[in-house]
Structure 1
Amino acid sequence: MLMTIIAIYTIFALVSIYTSVMQIGYINQAKRGEAVLLLESDFIKAGNYSVAKEKMSIVSMFIDYIIFIFWIGFGVKLLEQNINFENEALLNIVIVMGFLVINSIISLPFGYYEKFVLDEKFGFNKSSLTQWIKDTLISFAATLIFGSLVVWGIYEIISSFTLWWLWSFLFIFAVVILINMLYPTFRAMFFDKLTPLQDEALDDEIKRLMQKTGFVSSGVFVSDASKRDARLNAYFGGFGKAKRVVLFDTLIEKLTTKELLAVLGHELGHFAHGDIYKNIALVGGMLFGMFALFGNLPPSLYAELGINQAPYSVMILLLLFMPILGFLMMPIMGIVSRHNEYEADKTGSELGGSGGALELANALKKLVNENKSFPLSHPLYIFFHYTHPPVLERLKELGVDVQKIEKRALGETCQADI
């Protein structure tokens, strides 16, 4: 059983690395061809950025594989042997959180490299080292506090119920929903400063747009995201009356009013079609499968690992295998998500009136340019990683004629941020 687990993770790692290698080769070849959607200099720069990201992903996957072998081989056993508390609940919390803390510390160099080397080189990083350290410490503290509470909850469920995996699934599913509800508030408290939109004319236009779809929010806010990053983005967060519309200040700066409204129209399309609930249902299905699987592992596996069949060992094994299950689910979630994006584009263009499609197309082009998204990608990479349809296909669906684009490029482009 142990060798089967290692073999499964090995296949996952190899497939992940292979898709990255294919993506790198594809982009390097595409860079030498005709520029698509971007000026030639920006086209090459975006390609270089994508290649650099994939190379980092390969290195990260190698490290993750070594770490997985370490934990499976003797890491969990070391935690078990060196952490001792009479209180069983505290023992389980400390062991699981120790596992998470060690993994977080190992990942710190990658976070630093991405922010201060890669993003700095390509003009994305606007954050100082002090700001990054502060953000990292806040995230670390939040993980310790809320992570400990979640681990405690699962421990109590495992200790109290025979069908613990089903109740644990329901508990974690409720936590996921709660996170979605509180995310905008948490981010505003500790990371981004949110201020009400001061442009009254734009605020009125946005509220008028929301009324068309019955979207009710607690307000339209602007995030000072530019202090950390130069990318453009916007998001709707929360549920019910707690919903917020949050615009990055970079988005307001770079897009015209009509383009901005087209982007928000797209997001409102997701709301109108209930896409957030569809996504939650997909996540729920994945979580159910995970808990059903790890709730019925044979005792012989724990014996092979040389560890006790305790709540902490079940949780650690689940966390170790979560990336694999997510990777396997991604193609399914990607197909559903890409369909939803087409429908949201359609709604967004309709909300914008006769020129809505063109405004949304212009916004998509700007997002590709400002976020340095390389507009060509290997089909295998799209299959495993893309939640959004290729930009060129979205433009085609919008009825926009994109000139000087080779026929082969259709269906092989990179996603935008909306």
Structure 2
Amino acid sequence: MNPPKTTDLESIIQEVEAALGKEDLTKAKYQARIRLVRFFIGLVIPLILALLWLPTGWAVALRDALQGNAAWWRTWAVIVVFMLFSTLLGFPVAWYFDFYVENRLGTNRQSFRGWLWDQIKQATVGILIQSLLFLGVYTIFRLWPDTWFWGISALVVVFLGATYLLQPLLVRLQYKTEPLDDPELDARLKALFAKAGVRYAGVAVIKAGEKTARTNAALIPKGTGTQVVVFDTLLEATTPEGVEGVVAHELGHKVHRDLAKLMTLIGVMFIAALAVSYEVLQSVGHIWGLEGPTDVATFPLLDLIVAWLFAAMQVALNMYSRKVEYAADRFAVETTQRPDVFEEVLIMLAKDNKALPQPPVWVETLLHSHPSIAHRIQAIRKMAQQEQRG
């Protein structure tokens, strides 16, 4: 019988760092710094946009030029212009973080042309969906000035529900897919779903390897069942047992209804952010020629308030997310009964995705939706030892 593995966090960190190797560890540290920088830039950009549009009078001029408050489609047009401007302003940032940095990490496999085309598709879909959402917000503010809260709540529910149902379409818009050509793995996953009591709708292999070296898998709705979508890079990087472990983790989220709970929490946060935004726009939304919460020219200010409030509330969201990730890990290990395989998969994911084994505690606490690889391995080992002791 093998001796129990250490649960000392520092020792685990050293193990994972050794498994990554010097080159990947250096890249992981670089990526961790870059993501921190990107978080703060994400806060600065809405502020820059608000300062460009509002004190200069450009927002009011755009509203007046398009008669933005006169009809719903004019309001929509103004919002689309705001979002197009934001996308263009943010393009150098997107290029740096999503193309240049990915090249430095060795995870990008796309040409600039291919990457740019993907950016255009993503921006088009994003602007369409988000502009319709904020069109709904302004419409509700205008139609129900005293009872807008209930209208906003209903709008957010519809928006989140539509986003969930559109998942399969959004995946296929971004990637080519093909059926899984591995009957043994298919049978293994089908049995796993049956054990979890979830209706199995097959496996779609995402041809992600054409674009990235990163690995991933997820579950998405398909008809009355649930389909596994798995990156071809994951199939290449691990064994069938490893894939089973990753899918078992995702099944844990499904069985625990984590997505529904997370979307509910996000919905509550979004409604709260819009409620605070309405009160702020009531108070200060008449400067610079603005006309209060119903005026589409206030959009840059609304965007700034929502972005900053969400960043602040993200701490609570991440805390909850890390908790459910631990629970999904436990489900995966209990279902497959292979903690050793799941531990190997976590190290493989860290290596392929350039994840730092253990970021600074304050960074993990404030900014990470997943526990660190070292913390996850520690939790798995403690669980295995508890089960051995009976």
Letter in structure 2 aligned against 1:388: H
User: After superposition, what is the alpha-carbon deviation per residue over 1:53-85, rounded to whole angstroms, capped at 9, x for unaligned?
Assistant: 444555565444433332342343342243336
User: After superposition, what is the alpha-carbon deviation per residue over 1:358-386, rounded to whole angstroms, capped at 9, x for unaligned?
Assistant: 11100000111111112231111112111
Q: Does 1:343 align with 2:366?
A: no
Structure 1 gap segments, 5+ residues each: 1-30, 402-418
Displacement, 1:396? Answer: 1.3
The question of whether the paired residues in 1 share the 8 Å contact of 2:53 and 2:300 is answered with no
- 2:71 is aligned to 88
Matches of 1:58 and 1:155, distance apart in 2? 28
User: After superposition, what is the alpha-carbon deviation per residue over 1:191-239, rounded to whole angstroms, capped at 9, x for unaligned?
Assistant: 2112111111101101110111122243211000111111010111237
SS in 1 for 2:178: strand
SS in 1 for 2:343: helix
- 1:275 is aligned to 258
* Matched pairs, number: 369
Matches of 1:318 and 1:232, distance apart in 2? 36
- Structure possessing the higher relative contact order (Cα contacts under 8 Å, 6 or more residues apart): 2
Letter in structure 2 aligned against 1:223: I
Instruction: Check 1:38–1:211 CA distance in 2 against 1; reply closer, same or farther (3 A cut).
Output: same
What RMSD in Å do the two structures reach over aligned CA positions?
2.8
Q: Does 1:396 align with 2:387?
A: no
- 1:170 is aligned to 154
Q: Does 1:256 align with 2:239?
A: yes
Tell me the TM-score normalised to structure 2 length: 0.86
Displacement, 1:155? Answer: 3.9
**Superposition map of 1:255-334 within 5 A:** 255-297=238-280, 299-309=282-292, 310-313=294-297, 315-334=299-318
- 1:77 is aligned to 60
More deviation in 164-173 or 244-253? 164-173
Matches of 1:313 and 1:243, distance apart in 2? 42
Instruction: Check 1:342–1:374 CA distance in 2 against 1; reply closer, same or farther (3 A cut).
Output: same
Given candidates 104, 129, 133, the residue that maps to 2:87 is 104
User: After superposition, what is the alpha-carbon deviation per residue over 1:250-309, rounded to whole angstroms, capped at 9, x for unaligned?
Assistant: 000001111111111111111111111110111121022122223334644122242122
- 2:184 is aligned to 201
**Superposition map of 1:17-416 within 5 A:** 35=17, 37-55=19-37, 57-58=39-40, 61-74=43-56, 75-84=58-67, 87-162=70-145, 163-188=147-172, 190-238=173-221, 241=224, 243-297=226-280, 299-309=282-292, 310-313=294-297, 315-353=299-337, 356-399=338-381
Letter in structure 1 aligned against 2:328: A
Instruction: Check 1:305–1:222 CA distance in 2 against 1; reply closer, same or farther (3 A cut).
Output: same
Matches of 1:298 and 1:57, distance apart in 2? 25
Letter in structure 2 aligned against 1:364: L
SS in 2 for 1:73: coil
**Matched-pair identity in %:** 24
Tell me the TM-score normalised to structure 1 length: 0.80
More deviation in 166-175 or 147-156? 147-156
SS in 2 for 1:38: helix
Structure 2 gap segments, 5+ residues each: 1-12, 384-390
User: After superposition, what is the alpha-carbon deviation per residue over 1:118-142, rounded to whole angstroms, capped at 9, x for unaligned?
Assistant: 1112211111222222222222332
Matches of 1:327 and 1:85, distance apart in 2? 29
User: After superposition, what is the alpha-carbon deviation per residue over 1:124-166, rounded to whole angstroms, capped at 9, x for unaligned?
Assistant: 1111222222222222332444344334433443332231232
The question of whether the paired residues in 2 share the 8 Å contact of 1:193 and 1:224 is answered with yes
Instruction: Check 1:52–1:147 CA distance in 2 against 1; reply closer, same or farther (3 A cut).
Output: closer
